[in-house]
Amino acid sequence: MPCCSGRAILLLAGLGALWLVAPAGCAIPAYTAKETQTDVFETGPTPKIVVDTFNGSIDISNGAEDEVVVEVTKRASGMDEDTAAANLANIEIAMEQRGDEIHITARRLRGMRGNFGASVIVAAPPEAVVELKTDNGYIVSEGMRGGVEARTSNGRIDVVEATGPINARTSNSAIQIEAEDAVLEARTSNGRVRFRGSLADARHRVRTSNGKLDSILPEGSVFRFDASTSNGRVDCEFPFDRTDSGRSRRNIEGLVGDGPTKTELVLDTSNSSIDIRRIDDSKQLLD
């Protein structure tokens, strides 16, 4: 078999689809096998969905109000087709329903080297509560209104069309959130954090290092803010009253709007700037 001819083979493997992909070049004679498993769970309108995977992305979006549809694709590499396919057995996929909770888990059974991991796609009721965890993969949540917790490393997090509590944590990548009546906790390192939407009456915390912070809020918002940076500056487009000493452009505490408020926005970064701006409907959040 010529080593330089790229090709892909599709085999039916039980309930899943098995792909064997050979590289087009000869420099690294490695093959990657992929296997996809799917399942459908009947639920109520507010299930809890827990996803825990590795070296792969998670993509969850709103679907039907009474079911959760899950697709998991695992992949493993090897020096030849047989080895790559055999290595898939070292990745265990579990999809389990416990009452109105759905747990999707991918884990390695023993040490492996090379290109291996598992990606997860979920369609769920819009009011579902979701907990998403991976590493070395991005997370996308679209249209989930029951609360989102998203954690990864070396991967971007995008949360759009959300409502309620949002807890997003990553490293070495960006976080972008679009939500209404949000309770916000977002943290990364070496990445930008952007929020667009409205905030609930609560304390909100956004933190990064070596990255810019953008908070884009509606006209007429009432909130307190505490914004701190080093080697950058703080800019607030809203009229506000300073409640600190007023001596620095790098550390500003202020009150936006009239009257008492329970909404507090704490912003903290280094080596970049902090912007608090009004919503402009002509501009999209994600880029």
Tokens describing residue 286: 């994600």
pLDDT, average across residues 20-27: 49
Q: Which residues of 121-155 are buried (b: 16+ CB within 10 A; e: fewer)?
A: bbbbbbbbbbbbbbbebbbbbebbbbbbbbbbbeb
Nearest residue to 50 via CA among 108, 89, 117, 98 = 98
Q: Is the pLDDT of residue 16 over 60?
A: no
Q: What is the pLDDT of residues 164-200, one digit of tens each?
A: 999 999 999 999 999 999 999 999 998 999 999 999 9
Name the band, by pLDDT with cuts 50, 70 and 90, for residue 26. very low
Query: In terms of C-beta distances under 8 Å and separation of at least 24 residues, what long-range contacts does 98-101 make, across chains too?
Result: 100/43, 100/44, 100/46, 100/47, 100/48, 101/47, 101/48, 101/49, 101/50
Q: What is the pLDDT of residue 15?
A: 40
Q: Is the pLDDT of residue 5 over 50?
A: no
Q: What is the pLDDT of residue 214?
A: 98
**More confident call, 254 vs 280:** 254
Q: What is the pLDDT of residue 12?
A: 40
Which residues 6+ apart lie within 8 Å of 116 measured at CB?
55, 74, 75, 76, 77, 87, 90, 91, 108
Percentage of residues of the chain with pLDDT beyond 70? 86
Coil, strand or helix at 82? helix
User: Hey, what amino acid is at 87?
Assistant: N
Name the band, by pLDDT with cuts 50, 70 and 90, for residue 14. very low
Q: What is the pLDDT of residue 210?
A: 87
Name the band, by pLDDT with cuts 50, 70 and 90, for residue 29. very low
Percentage of residues of the chain with pLDDT beyond 90? 73
Q: What is the pLDDT of residues 225-249, one digit of tens each?
A: 999 999 899 999 999 999 998 778 8
